[in-house]
Amino acid sequence: MTGSTKWLAAFFAITIPATAFAQVSDATYCRRLSARYEAFVDNMQGHSNDRASLAGDVALQQCREGNYAAGIPVLERELINNKISLPSHS
């Protein structure tokens, strides 16, 4: 291997596991956000005329489908806007 090939191999050996770890972390975080949001929606029913937002419903579906980058920020915003603390991201 040439010097640049060795460097690329080392780069990918380090970044690929980090990327996989980030995806697992995002999946877990998305599940936590989803659970908290669903609990909020369940609690909200019967106490007011408000319903879950369409954006929140779409974000839940995005998390279920593995589109964490789209689902996470929306669920975070929905929770924050409703004065609900966010779950741990670790």
7, part of any domain: no
Looking at residue 77, its pLDDT comes to: 97
Number of domains in the chain: 1
85, part of any domain: yes
10, part of any domain: no
37, part of any domain: yes
Confidence (pTM): 0.68
Tell me how far apart the alpha carbons of residues 23 and 85 are, in angstroms, rounded to a whole number: 22
42, part of any domain: yes
Instruction: Label residue 83 left, alpha or beta by phi (over 0 means left) and psi (-120 to 50 means alpha).
Output: left
> Which residue range(s) make up the domain with 43?
23-90
Q: Is the dihedral of CA 51, 57, 63, 64 positive or negative?
A: positive
pLDDT single digits (tens) 2-57: 555 565 455 555 555 555 555 558 999 999 999 999 999 888 776 655 557 899 99
27, part of any domain: yes
40, part of any domain: yes
Looking at residue 48, its pLDDT comes to: 55
4, part of any domain: no
